[in-house]
């Protein structure tokens, strides 16, 4: 069930340029069921900034009642969030949305996980869950440059991991699809989170494969009431990214 | 003790004067997952149009200082769907529903008003002549007194329930429009809708919102709304449901003091999803603090 809670900061760590890893503790963690769900964060009690920030969940630890978010401190709100220290409180609404269906992969199968930039974090909890279920994971993670790369080692512990950067300063130069074309990995289904063009390119590259894509859109309420974050679907209708998604099976959203 | 928060308005017997504003609460389903909707005084449901509307392209919202811009474009499933699904679902609650009615021409408004006012739980209509985000209809009906009056009369003639008219602040004289809709037979006024605004992208210099302009809401617009409620409440003899930037119990007191008889909470629902029940819970203590037995004593006190 969706809850609103003032959660305590356990740890805040900068893990790459502008990229922070924030660990929060509280009851709300116990409601988190699926990788790929998100939380809606109010960074200050006042009106600046005036709206919440949707941030994906990167790792869930039910036993410790803690979860991790990895976010880019790019705007006003996330910059304020990045100043929170251990012991500070953060107003969290969540968990929200429908995440990645782990059960769509069968034990023994191989899942390809493709992330772009700040779309990488939700793939971490997903990969952990898939591995726990006996599914092999291959990770292809795209970043702008070497100083933006994060969680390379964490992903490596879970399966083959390829880093791609736009400027070639780490891993392979180019787009994730360039690397995929070159390596031509063997897999049964794919999961992805990242910018729209990347999701579109993936759908195109693997027309026969089962796949699940996580989308991003500017949000208002985060629960499906305000119709800010709608996207067009291939059947001519629409979906709300926050409450119908953010994860959709391939082919649902018009790319 | 009798209910200190009870307010009686045309068609609406409200257990408290707090309701979510139209467009900020959908048809209630999402918030029903968070709290018991029976706590609310009413719900102003999302605008209904005759046909299903897809709304505007995204981005549809942009954050601003102490507020936000939106240009949703009246997206809704259409009258028939709302009559078949959303309104019957709401019947499980003890809530007098206020149905927001929108259209692109008089005939649409009339048709929607006629049909939706027959729904058993719709106790009042909110005539939307002030949406700034659609190309046809909406605000064009709300900026000319004569047009506003004629539309009000046309809707009033077919509605089975009292008609409240939602006014736009994007006019030279909101008092003139208010008087006109009163002459047209309006039972009440709801005010204010959003103020037309724009935000430019810091890198590209282009509007952030795909529609270009959007409606500004949130705490930033509260002083404008208060001023307008203050003026209109002295110029007309029909009650006002006030709105515009309400986010806490003190804001509610301000609107009632200015002359509103009830209030609607909009944007604040996106920030504190429990803001409506929180305000309702805090109101009795606020009345004690101000020395009033009853919330109706606060209404219009700025004029006394």
In a domain, A220, yes or no: no
pLDDT for residue B139: 75
Q: Is the dihedral of CA B105, B106, B111, B113 positive or negative?
A: positive
Interchain proximity B67–A50, CB inside 8 Å: yes
Quick one: average pLDDT of A160-171?
96
* A112 occurs within a structural domain: yes
The average confidence (pLDDT) of chain B is 96
Mark whether A23 and A89 lie in a shared domain.
Answer: yes
- Confidence (pLDDT) at B140: 77
The partner residue sitting opposite A218, judged by closest CB among B58, B66, B220, is: B58
Q: What is the mean pLDDT of chain A?
A: 96
Question: Residue B175 and residue A150: Cα distance in Å, rounded?
Answer: 59
Q: Is A54 annotated as a binding residue?
A: yes
Per-residue pLDDT at B215? 96
> Using the 8-state DSSP alphabet, how is residue A26 labeled?
S
| Per-residue model confidence (pLDDT) at position B137 | 64
Q: Is the residue at B205 inside a domain?
A: no
B30-59 tens-digit pLDDT: 999 999 999 999 999 999 999 999 999 999
- Give the pLDDT confidence of A45-69 residue by residue, as tens digits: 989 999 999 999 999 999 999 999 9
A109 with A88, same domain: the answer is no
Each residue of A215-252: pLDDT tens digit?
988 899 999 999 999 999 999 899 999 999 999 999 99
Domain boundary among A78, A96, A114: A96
Q: Are residues A78 and A172 in the same domain?
A: no
The answer to whether position A228 is within a domain reads no
Interval B146-188: pLDDT, tens: 999 999 999 999 999 999 999 999 999 999 999 999 999 999 9
Determine, yes or no, domain membership for B202.
no
A71 and A107 in a single domain? The answer is no
Residue B213 lies in a domain: no
Looking at A178, A193, A214, which one is the last position of a domain? A214
Q: The domain containing residue A70 runs over which residues?
A: 3-96
List the helix and strand counts (H, then E) for chain B: 10, 14
Facing residue for B270 by CB, picked from A220, A231, A243? A220
Q: Classify residue A247: in a domain, yes or no.
A: no
Q: Which of A38-42, A73-77, A80-84 has the lowest mean pLDDT?
A: A73-77
In a domain, A255, yes or no: no
In a domain, B118, yes or no: yes
Q: Is residue A243 situated within a structural domain?
A: no
Give the tens place of pLDDT for each residue, B53-85: 999 999 999 999 999 999 999 999 999 999 999
* Enzyme catalytic residues of B: 131
Decide which of A69, A96, A123 is a domain's last residue: A96
Give the number of beta-carbon pairs within 8 Å between A and B: 97
For residues B10 and B6, what is the distance between their CA atoms, to the nearest angstrom? 13
For residue B96, give the CATH number of its domain: 3.20.20.70
| Residues A204 and A115 grouped into a single domain | yes
Q: Is the minimum CB–CB distance between B173 and chain A shorter than 8 Å? A: no
Number of domains in chain B: 1
Identify the domain containing residue B123 by its residue range: 7-55+73-194+219-298
A30 with A134, same domain? no
B63 touches chain A (CB under 8 A): yes
Q: In this structure, are A166 and A127 located in the same domain?
A: yes
Neighbour count for residue B95 (Cβ, 10 Å): 21
Nearest CB to B24; choose among A218, A226, A229: A226
Specify whether A87 is located in the same domain as A125.
no
Number of domain units in chain A? 2
pLDDT value, residue B135: 64
Domain assignment present for residue A59? The answer is yes
Residue A239 lies in a domain: no
The reply to whether A6 sits in an annotated binding site is no
Residue B141 confidence (pLDDT): 86
Across the interface, whether the CB atoms of B30 and A221 are under 8 A apart is answered: yes
pLDDT of A255: 86
Q: What's the mean pLDDT in A91-102?
A: 97
Say if B62 falls within a structural domain.
no
- pLDDT (0 to 100) of residue B147: 93
Q: Count CB-CB contacts under 10 A for residue A237.
A: 12
pTM of the model: 0.94
Cis upstream peptide for A2 (omega within 30°): no
Q: For chain B, where are the alpha helices, taking DSSP H only?
A: 29-32, 79-81, 87-90, 106-116, 145-158, 174-183, 222-235, 249-258, 268-271, 275-290
Q: Which residues of B are annotated as a binding site for FMN?
A: 22, 46-47, 100, 128, 166, 192, 218, 244-245, 266-267
What CATH number does residue A79 fall under?
Answer: 2.40.30.10
- Inform me whether the pLDDT recorded for B1 exceeds 90: no
Nearest to B215 by CA among B245, B247, B235: B245
Question: Residue A121: pLDDT above 60?
Answer: yes
Indicate if A143 and A85 belong to the same structural domain: no
Judgement on whether residues A76 and A49 belong to the same structural domain of the protein:
yes
Question: Which SS3 state, helix, strand or coil, does residue A159 take?
Answer: strand
Q: What pLDDT band is residue B131 in, cutting at 50, 70 and 90?
A: confident
């Amino acid at each position: 069930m969706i809850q609103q809670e003032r959660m305590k900061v356990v740890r805040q760590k900068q893990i790459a340029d502008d990229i922070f890893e924030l660990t929060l503790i509280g009851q709300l963690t116990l409601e988190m069921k699926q990788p790929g769900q998100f939380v809606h964060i109010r960074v200050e009690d006042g009106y600046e900034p005036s709206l919440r920030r949707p941030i994906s969940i990167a790792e869930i630890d039910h036993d410790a009642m803690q979860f991790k978010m990895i976010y880019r401190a790019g705007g006003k709100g996330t910059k304020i969030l990045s100043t929170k220290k251990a012991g500070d409180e953060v107003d969290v609404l969540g968990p929200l949305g429908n995440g990645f269906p782990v059960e769509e992969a069968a034990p023994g199968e191989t899942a390809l996980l493709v992330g772009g930039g700040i779309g990488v974090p939700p793939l971490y909890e997903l990969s952990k869950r898939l591995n726990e279920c006996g599914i092999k994971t291959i990770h292809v993670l795209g970043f702008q440059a070497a100083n933006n790369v994060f969680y390379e080692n964490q992903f490596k512990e879970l399966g083959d991991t390829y880093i791609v950067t736009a400027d070639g300063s780490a891993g392979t130069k180019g787009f994730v699809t360039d690397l995929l074309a070159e390596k031509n990995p063997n897999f049964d289904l794919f999961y992805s989170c990242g910018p729209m063009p990347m999701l579109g390119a993936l759908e195109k590259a693997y027309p026969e494969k089962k796949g699940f894509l996580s989308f991003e859109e500017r949000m208002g309420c985060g629960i499906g009431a305000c119709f800010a974050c709608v996207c067009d679907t291939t059947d001519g209708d629409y979906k709300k990214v926050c409450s119908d998604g953010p994860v959709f099976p391939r082919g649902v959203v018009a790319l | 003790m009798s209910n200190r928060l009870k307010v009686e308005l045309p068609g609406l017997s409200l257990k408290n004067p707090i309701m979510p504003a139209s467009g900020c609460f959908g048809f209630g389903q999402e918030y029903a997952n968070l709290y018991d909707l029976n706590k609310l005084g009413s719900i102003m449901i999302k605008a209904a149009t005759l046909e299903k509307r897809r709304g505007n392209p995204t981005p549809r919202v942009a954050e601003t200082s102490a507020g936000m811009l939106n240009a949703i474009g009246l997206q809704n499933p259409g009258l028939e769907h709302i009559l078949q699904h959303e309104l019957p679902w709401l019947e499980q609650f003890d809530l007098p529903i206020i149905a927001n009615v929108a259209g692109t021409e008089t005939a649409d408004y009339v048709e929607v008003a006629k049909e939706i006012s027959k729904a058993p739980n719709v106790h009042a209509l909110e005539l939307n002549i002030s949406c700034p985000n659609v190309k046809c209809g909406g605000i064009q009906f709300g900026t000319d007194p004569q047009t506003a009056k004629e539309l009000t009369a046309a809707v009033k003639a077919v509605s089975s329930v009292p008609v409240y008219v939602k006014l736009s602040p994007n006019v030279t004289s909101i008092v003139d429009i208010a008087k006109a809709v009163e002459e047209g037979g309006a039972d009440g006024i709801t005010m204010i809708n959003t103020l037309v605004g724009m935000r430019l992208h810091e890198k590209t210099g282009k509007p952030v919102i795909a529609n270009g302009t959007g409606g500004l809401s949130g705490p930033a617009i509260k002083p404008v709304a208060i001023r307008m409620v203050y003026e209109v409440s002295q110029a007309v003899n029909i009650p006002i449901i006030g709105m515009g930037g309400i986010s806490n119990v003190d804001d509610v007191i301000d609107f009632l003091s200015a002359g509103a008889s009830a209030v609607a909470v909009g944007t604040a629902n996106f920030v504190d999803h429990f803001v409506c029940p929180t305000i309702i819970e805090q109101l009795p203590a606020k009345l004690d603090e101000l020395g009033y037995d009853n919330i109706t004593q606060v209404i219009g006190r700025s004029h006394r």
